[in-house]
Amino acid sequence: MLQALADGETDPAALAALAAPRLRATPEQLCNAFQACPTLHPVYRRLLKLTLDELRVIEDHLGQLDQQMADLLAEHHDAVQRLAEVPGFGVDSAQQIIAEVGAAAATFPSPKHLAPWMSTCPGTEESAGKNYSHRCPKGNRQMRRVPNQAANAAVKARGTIFAVVYRPLVPRLGHAQAIGALTHRLCRLIWKILHERVRDEERGPAASGEAKKVRAHKMIRKLRSLGYQVELTLTRLHGLSDFRPGSSTRCERHFDLGR
């Protein structure tokens, strides 16, 4: 719709017809929002076109960087796979973490060393027995963003242990501190998966088959876009089989990548 508006379209109905089917706004609401299009000054159309062009350039650069990261981490494809299977994570976040901490997190002897470095451990700013701040005073705050976003995504995934743990924490701690607690737990899980080379085992209620199917397709599309060749079969699976850029891979788990 924005591209058509930048190209000079003035009919509100024609612009509303370009909306995605899943858009919450009704066609009538969209037509009402586009009522000013016939009188929109050409300067604003030009500014919108320049902004869209800039956005495409940024997305193209991000895609190139993602592809380069995938090529550099090709030898660590198993670690990427194991970490991407954790609820809330994906291929992108798994690659970012491995690029920072290493494929085996060998620099950190224990999760107690990794958590402060990622700024995910609770702080203890106390005076007279009263804690004034739970914020971690040191650490890589930029890196903390990745597990924090993963925690926010994991609590929304139905049937995961993170959603189960999150519910009783919210009334007592609030959303921000509850997410902080789950971020700390995710950090410890990251160390265990990478350092001990184990896979994530979902201990919560089983997720719905439709949710597993959607997550499987999203992950497979992302892997293929980065050069991984993934073939999906209808057999019972325990995770993606080995995959690497330029090699044919068979997926041996039936829509169950989001355990």
Q: Look over the chain and give the mean of its residue pLDDT values, rounded to a whole number.
A: 78
Which has more confidence, 19 or 229? 19
Whole-prediction pTM = 0.62
**8 Å CB contact between 93 and 107:** no
Can you say whether the dihedral through the CA atoms of 169, 175, 181, 182 is positive or negative? positive
Q: What is the pLDDT of residue 215?
A: 64
Q: What is the pLDDT of residue 256?
A: 33
pLDDT of 236 higher than 60: no
At 240, phi and psi to the nearest 5? -65, 135
88 confidence band (pLDDT: 50, 70, 90): confident
43-64: pLDDT as tens digits: 999 999 999 999 999 999 988 8
Which has more confidence, 246 or 128? 128
116-125: pLDDT as tens digits: 888 887 766 5
Q: What is the pLDDT of residue 52?
A: 95
Cα distances from 143 to residues 138, 188, 240, in angstroms, run 12, 14, 26
